[in-house]
Structure formats: C-alpha cells, structure tokens
Amino acid sequence: MAKAAAKNKRGIAGWLNPYHYNAERWAYTFQRVTGVAVLLYVLGHLGDTSFFVGGPTGTGPSASSWAFIGTVFENTFGHTILVLLVLALVFHGVNGIRLVLSEFGLILRKPSAIEFPYKPKALASGQRALIYVGIATAVLSAIWTYLVLFEGMG
Amino acid sequence: MRESRLMLLQYVTALLAVALVSIHLMMQGVILPYDTAISFNNMLSIYRNAVTAVFLEALLLVVLVHGFNGLRIILYELRQTKPWTTWVDVVTVAAVIGTVAYGTRTVILAAFGVVSA
Amino acid sequence: MTDVRLLVQRFDPFKDEEPRLVEYKVPKREGMTVLDAILYARDYVDHSIALRFSCRQASCGSCGMKINGRPRLACYTQVDELAGEKVVAQPMENFAIIRDLVTDLGSFFEKHAEVVPQLVRSDLQEQEHPTSEYVMKPEELTRVLQFTYCIKCGLCTSSCPTVATDSEFPGPQALAQAYRYTADVRDEGGDGRIAILDTPHGIWRCHFAGSCSYVCPKGVDPALGIQLLKRHVMSGHAPRKAGEGSPTAKAGIPAHGPGSGSSSGG
C-alpha cells in the first residue's frame, strides 16, 4: 500500500473526476465516458439489428425474428436506453467537432504578449461556447427523442 | 505507423460519423414516424435500396473504426508495457474486422436473402 | 486575530503505510500565503514538515503542491483567496512522494530534456561556434514569448489526466516547450522534435482537457502551444520560417547582422 501511495498517481480517477478543474476538463471526462457508452450501444445494436435477418444463425429477412426483437427492446427499458443514447451521442458529436477544430488550432486565439492576471487563450470563450452548444443540443435532442418514443410525436 | 496517421483516421471518421449518424437519426425518427421507420417493411425497403444499403454499410464501417480506434487510445493510456500495447493493437484490429464482418453479414442477408414470415 | 486551519499531508514512504492529514493552527495575517502558513507551522509547531521552496515570489517553481484540491504554487496562493474554512496542502499528484509535500521531479525534467528544449541549427559548426547573434523580429518573439515563461514547477503535469495513467506521455510542460522551440524562427530542429512526438505515447495522447493552462501560474498556456503544435506534427514538418531555404539560413548564419534586432533566450 505504501508503495502505491508513494507513487501518488491519480490513475483513472484523473480521467473520471474533473472536480476542481475547468469546463474543458469536464468535457474531456464526458467525451471519454460517452464514447465508451456509445461504443457499447453500437455493439448491442449490431446484435439487435441482426435479428432482422433471423439473428446470428439467420439466412434472410425474417418478420417473426424482427417482431421478436421488438418485444425485447420496444418497451420503456429499450426506449429509455435510446433517450440516454441520444443524449450521449449528440454531446459526443458536437464536443468532438469542438475538439477537432481546437486540436488543429482553428478556433484558438494566437499566442501574444500577456498581461496578468492571465486568462488562458486555449480556454477562451470561443471554443468553450461549443461545449455549452453541445450540452444544449444533446438535451434538446434527448427531449425530442423522449417525445417521439414516449409521447408518440414525430 | 506514425501515430498521426491513426489520429488523422480518428478525426476523419469523427467528421464522417457526425454526418452519417445525423442522417441515420433523421431516418429513424424525424423523416418518418418512429413506428413506421422500424417496421419490417420499411426496414426491408431500406436494405433493398442500393443507396440506403451502402449508406448503412458506410455508417457501420465509420462508426466501428472510430469507436475501436478511440478505445485503443484509451487502452494505450491505461498501461504502457510492450505486451499490453501489442495485445491492444491485435484486439483492436480483430474487433474492427469481426464487428464489421458481422454487421456486413446483416446488410448482405437483408439485401439479398430470402424473405420469410 | 483568527487562526488558519492548516491541514498538511504527512507521509514518509519508508515509515508510513498511508498518508495522513495533520492539522495545525496558524495565526492568520493579512496577505498571508499558503507558503507562509506552512512555514509558520514548520518553524513554530513541527520542525519535521518537509517542503520545497525557495524564491517566495512565483519565480523558481519550487513550491508547487495541491492546495484545496488543485495544483497551485504555495507562494502565489493567498489564504484569503481559498474558498472554505480549511487550507489543505498535499503533494502534487502524479509525482512520486519523497516525503510530505516534497515530490520527485526527476522524470519530469528528463521528459523536458527529451523534447530537445534548446535552439538547434542544421549547421552544427555554427551552432557550437556562432559567428554572430541569432536575431528575431519582435512579432516573431511574441509568437513564442509566453511559452518561455515556464518555470518548470510541474503544476500542469500534475493536473493532466493523461499523465495520471500514462507514464510515457511527455506531459504538458515538455510538449509546450517543444512548441516553444519548434515555433522559434531561429530553430531548425523542429522536424527532429516532431519525430520524437509523433509516437504512440507522444503528443496525440493530449485530448485538450486544458487543465494545464487552467493551473499554470505564469500564463504559459501549455494547452495552446500543444494544439498549435499538433497540426505541424500531423504534417510531419515544422512550421515554415521566414528566410527558410535561403543560403544563409541553411548555412546556419543569421539573415541579419549582429545587433540589428531584438533577440531572446528564454
């Protein structure tokens, strides 16, 4: 134990706990968590869509197999997963665009002479606004998905 | 391979995924009502239309390459031993090939298979 | 006069199983820094508190530590600016603890050295025996100036989520310095530096969490430098520089005569 304590590495807590830090650090954590979550969904989605052709051992489009998978996922449980998926997916996508633009320096301010107290240019409002756009878009999309799946809209 | 090539792949698939996934979501709940969109007949027509079937295949490829390459990045950052890195590389390539193959099987069977009740 | 509730993490890896927080009451005075408070505790309460400090004016980068959950310089953080009623001083995370608040910065300096943090000229003879001053225009200096302010305190590296798990990642300090020299018009070693960084545990393990820039006490803004460097790493080449390709530049000879412009070490 003393050995681990002496190493003093934050470990995965450094990825998952952005408390005390900036908005971009929170976005980093959510980007990572939503990325893994969406990948897990996609793997499940590969499985459920395969039931359109009868599942792993199927040979062609099967109405009964598709109806069967519908009984498994077309319910409150499955629809709740879809609402959460859209929330995670849309945030991951919009925040991902921010990251691509930032990591190529396209929406960052140029280095210049600085004055104190210094506000980091990398964390300036331009790119940071996209984090909030991502959150807003994700929430609105999730609400839309809820209305479509639970209230019969669309 | 230079790591920048794999990251370029990540950025390109990211932008493609944003476009393709947006279209996919639109097709499933905005253009058509959700219940109609996931009905057997509508799904069949999507798989049997060359454009939309190719679209689904492209979506499959882009999302899985982006997802597993992202997972590779996370696993690289988790541990740094040579055996671990080799294992991650092998598993990533195998996972992409395996999942794309399984998804492609669905697309092909849905497009060309014999329809049953 | 009110007291400051100062909690200092005590830990001797050779003797203790786990770190523990020990509370000291320190009489508060106006303008008191966290370093002042710790030094009071060490001088008047417990002489065995181990800490590293030197200049007391945010110039030397010795007193980096985690204060109330965030990496800060103890000499540059006033007790009054901290929220809450306690001041909790712990060693910087992601660096091995030598004792109490003193961390081992050995690998940190090694990683700094690995990115070749000095001007490199293609003409080694000229580099080792320069015949005149290397000059740069004021606007060229401005491009790298803020990155030269790094005092190697380690706060950025301590805050980085990648460093938290990836021991081979150079960290924000080293990467920002890689940008500082690669973007310097007098430098010709950018391509070599880029080859060092374009590796599985190199610059691409930065995901722009930006915590490094958030905690930097000197306005270095490492995240900015790292992102600006990424596009050059992607292209495989250092940024084009004024005069690049000219016979004088290739020969390692400054394009301007000595004393004809401003220059900076950094």
C220 and C189 part of one domain: yes
C-chain CB neighbours of A108 within 8 Å are 224, 227-228
Q: How far is A117 from chain B (nearest CA, A)?
A: 34
pLDDT of residue C205: 98
pLDDT of residue C178: 98
Global ipTM = 0.96
DSSP helix/strand/coil, C109:
helix
Q: What's the CATH number where B16 sits? A: 1.20.1300
B68 in A contact zone (CB under 8 Å):
yes
**B30: in domain:** yes
C127 and C205 part of one domain: yes
C82 and C125 part of one domain: no
Query: Domain range spanning residue B59?
Result: 3-112
Provide the 10 A C-beta neighbour count for residue A151.
8
**C256: in domain:** no
CB-CB contact of C121 with C71 (8 Å): no
Query: How many Å apart are CA B38 and CA B41, to the nearest integer?
Result: 8
Question: Does residue C259 have a pLDDT over 60?
Answer: no
**C261: in domain:** no
Query: How many Å apart are CA B32 and CA B10, to the nearest integer?
Result: 31
**A9: in domain:** no
C94 and C146 part of one domain: no
C173 and C93 part of one domain: no
Number of structural domains chain C divides into? 2
Q: Output the CA–CA distances (angstroms, integers) from residue A49 to A32, A118, A142, A154, C66, in the order listed.
A: 26, 53, 22, 22, 50
pLDDT band for position C256 (cuts 50, 70, 90):
very low
Reading the block at residue B78, the tokens are: 């988790």
C117 and C59 part of one domain: no
pLDDT of residue C85: 86
**A95: in domain:** yes
DSSP-assigned letter for residue C66:
E
C222 and C244 part of one domain: yes
**A130: in domain:** yes
Q: Report residue C78 CA to chain centroid gap.
A: 21
Number of structural domains chain A divides into? 1
**A96: in domain:** yes
C140 and C235 part of one domain: yes
Do the chains contact at C200 and B4, CB–CB below 8 Å? no
Question: Which residues in chain A come in under a pLDDT of 50?
Answer: 1
Query: How many Å apart are CA B42 and CA B25, to the nearest integer?
Result: 15
Average pLDDT, chain A: 95
Q: Is C15 exposed, middle or buried (0-12, 13-18, 19+ CB in 10 A)?
A: exposed
Q: What's the CATH number where C193 sits? A: 1.10.1060.10
Query: How many Å apart are CA C10 and CA C17, to the nearest integer?
Result: 11
Concatenated DSSP letters of B4-40: HHHHHHHHHHHHHHHHHHHHHHHHHHTSS-HHHHTSH
Question: Does residue C224 have a pLDDT over 60?
Answer: yes
A137 φ, ψ (degrees, to nearest 5) = -65, -40
Count Cα atoms within 13 angstroms, Cβ side, for C150: 29
Give the residues across from C86 on adjacent strands. C5
Q: For residue range C44-78, list pLDDT tens digits in order.
A: 999 999 999 999 999 999 999 999 999 999 999 99
Query: How many Å apart are CA C199 and CA C170, to the nearest integer?
Result: 11
Question: Does residue B51 have a pLDDT over 70?
Answer: yes
**A70: in domain:** yes
List the one residue out of C118, C74, B65 whose CA is nearest residue A42.
Answer: B65
Do the chains contact at B2 and C167, CB–CB below 8 Å? no
Q: How far is B4 from chain A (nearest CA, A)?
A: 12
Query: How many Å apart are CA C53 and CA C35, to the nearest integer?
Result: 8
C52 and C135 part of one domain: no
| Percent share of chain B, pLDDT over 70 | 100
Identify the domain boundary among C50, C79, C103: C103
C99 and C223 part of one domain: no
**A60: in domain:** yes
C62 and C7 part of one domain: yes
Query: How many Å apart are CA A49 and CA B47, to the nearest integer?
Result: 12
List the one residue out of A49, A141, A153, A148 whose CA is nearest residue A89.
Answer: A141
Kind of pairing between the strands at C86-90 and C3-10: parallel
**C259: in domain:** no
pLDDT of residue B1: 81
Q: For residue range C70-102, list pLDDT tens digits in order.
A: 999 999 999 999 988 899 999 999 999 999 999
Number of structural domains chain B divides into? 1
Neighbours of chain A (3+ CB pairs under 8 A): B, C
**B117: in domain:** no
List the one residue out of C129, C150, C227, C218 whose CA is nearest residue C183.
Answer: C227
Query: Domain range spanning residue A117?
Result: 21-150
Q: What's the CATH number where C46 sits? A: 3.10.20.30
B-chain CB neighbours of A72 within 8 Å are none
Q: Starting at the edge strand that comes first in sequence, how are the strands of the sheet with C20-27 ordered?
A: C20-27, C3-10, C86-90, C64-67, C70-73
C117 and C178 part of one domain: yes
Mutate to test the interface with A, among C57, C221, C262 (most CBs of A within 10 A): C221
Q: What's the CATH number where A108 sits? A: 1.20.1300.10
Query: How many Å apart are CA C172 and CA C206, to the nearest integer?
Result: 8
A-chain CB neighbours of B43 within 8 Å are 52, 61, 66
**C266: in domain:** no
Identify the domain boundary among C50, C84, C103: C103
Query: Domain range spanning residue C235?
Result: 106-250
Q: For residue range A86-121, list pLDDT tens digits in order.
A: 999 999 999 999 999 999 989 999 999 988 889 999
